[in-house]
Amino acid sequence: MKRKFITNLVLIILLNLLIKPLWIFGIDRHVQNLFEAEYGLYNILFNLSFILSILFDLGLTNYNNRHISQNHHLLQKYFSSIVILKLILALLYGLVAYGIALILNISGQNLNLLFFLVFSQMLVSFTLYLRSNIAGMQMHTANSVISVLDRALMIGFCAILIWGRISGITFSIAWFIYAQTAAYLVTAVICFLIVAKKSKFPKLRYDHKFFLVVIRQSWPYALLALLMVAYTRVDVIMLGHMLRPEENGTMAVSIYAKGFRLFDATYQFALLFAVLLLPMFSKMIKEKQDLHGLTLLSSLLLFVPTIALAIGSQVYRVEIMDLLYDKNVNEAAPFFGILMFAFLGMAGTIIYGTLLTANGNLKILNITSAIALGINIILNFILIPKYQAFGAAISCMATQLFAGFSQYVVTAVKFKFALNFSLIFRLVLYISGVVLLALGSHQLTITWWISFVGMLTAAIVFAMLLNLINLKAMVRLIFSSEP
């Protein structure tokens, strides 16, 4: 299983490295630079639609991924009925989203934009559900390609709209949203055709008894997803609505989004671990295989580069922000560094939360996530009025570190993972070395990005010297006959 994990991880990371940076730093960043204030409003509407989108999924994706991974024959039975259930949930999601929009006094053109964002989230959620079937059937290559398809289409659509000079179209935030919706729609259709062919279902089935059984079993997954999304995304909504009119909450959100973009981009790449690990962990648990090796391997592969990136981003925070943005660089830089440290906690939830999800430990995950949400909301209420976006970043860091560490502790207890003091010592040595590398490289008189890349490269080499990353063993694993 470790060989399968490594080979598919390499493939999915390569594909995402080719596509997603073009979207994040080429298109999305360019749009924010074009429409600074409007982007803040877009970010508020996007996060509102994103948090509420759990009503459309209701935990079905993670529930389905786990069960199809362990029982491939259930695909035909589940798929034809869950599609109908998804359509019912779409109505619920739409009604709730519009109800909350009215409470928040969202109207006119903004309500129109929210409609397309809600529809886009429906398409995203439906695609993720379809991909859970593809991953559950261990079709990892197809899943890897599909993981970048929507972004590849968005790049093409937006590039045409921005630079194609199409007669009668003036590019705006609205057209930016329309292009995303079109890309999600095409991707969802392609995924549907793949799964429909594999499931061989004769027709869609309305089965209310099946719906009740599935919802009863999947609601803990839905609650977990809602809590995790809320404690990660609610900062933006609170930041936009808690500041006084003269403090311009929309602009504060736009500036916050500049620091959050790299945090979110790193999360999107790290999430690839969870996409691969959930079906693998589920299958290994059913077959009662040892989980320690894959857990340790995936943890080191995620944490070691993340530590170097977080430390480097803190030291080079001003240079990185200045490279990416035209305005408000000095305002965005401080909380950008804080957010990158917050990602260390999120990395913990990606590995250990995924393992606990595969094992069905939803109750404890929901408890830790509920506590994390409480911490986030309380800290935001305290810190945002005084420190604005920087306060939201501090809240985010505290929340993510708590969530990641608490889930690690639960995992260690549940699976009896003993403390490896040799590994802890090497990690402490590695962190100390990376701090010195970052501070030292920052003092060099060469171009900053050369010293930054050099620092990251030296950090990986240092990790290899400490045997935190063993490239030779990974290469042998890829070309071995181990499954």
CA 466, CA 474: separation in Å to the nearest integer? 15
pLDDT at 244: 63
Q: Are the beta carbons of 69 and 282 closer than 8 angstroms? A: yes
| 416: CB partners within 8 A, 6+ apart | none
CA 399, CA 374: separation in Å to the nearest integer? 9
Band (pLDDT 50/70/90 cuts) for residue 482 is very low
Q: Percent of the chain scored above 90 by pLDDT?
A: 35
Among residues 242, 230, 240, the alpha carbon closest in space to that of 110 is found at 240
With H, G, I as helix, E, B as strand and everything else as coil, classify residue 417: coil
Among residues 244, 250, 243, 234, the alpha carbon closest in space to that of 384 is found at 243
When pLDDT is averaged across residues 147-166 and rounded to a whole number, the result is: 90
Q: What is the pTM of this model?
A: 0.76
Lowest mean pLDDT among 82-86, 147-151, 358-362, 372-376: 82-86
CA 275, CA 280: separation in Å to the nearest integer? 9
pLDDT at 483: 47
**Residue 332 predicted with pLDDT over 70:** yes
pLDDT in tens, 165-218: 787 788 899 999 999 999 999 999 998 888 877 766 556 667 777 778 777 877
The DSSP call for residue 246 is G
Q: CA torsion angle for 231, 235, 237, 243 (degrees, to 10)?
A: 150
For the four alpha carbons of 421, 425, 426 and 427, in that order, the dihedral sign comes to: positive
To the nearest whole number, what is the mean pLDDT of the chain?
84
Measured in residues, the chain has a length of 483
284-299 burial code (b ≥16 CB/10 A, e <16)? bbeeeeebeebbebbb
The DSSP call for residue 291 is -
| 42: CB partners within 8 A, 6+ apart | 35, 113, 173, 176, 177
SS (H, E, C) 109-129: HHHHHHHHHHHHHHHHHHHHH
Among residues 260, 246, 402, the alpha carbon closest in space to that of 321 is found at 260
CA 351, CA 291: separation in Å to the nearest integer? 12
pLDDT in tens, 28-49: 988 988 888 788 888 888 888 9
Q: Percent of the chain scored above 70 by pLDDT?
A: 88
The shares of helix, strand and coil residues in the chain, as percent rounded to the nearest 5, are 85, 0, 15
CA 422, CA 413: separation in Å to the nearest integer? 19
Lowest mean pLDDT among 248-257, 374-383, 410-419: 248-257
CA 373 to chain centre: 17
Q: Are the beta carbons of 313 and 336 closer than 8 angstroms? A: yes
Higher per-residue confidence, 218 vs 478: 218
pLDDT at 481: 45
Among residues 32, 53, 61, 206, the alpha carbon closest in space to that of 119 is found at 53
pLDDT at 75: 61
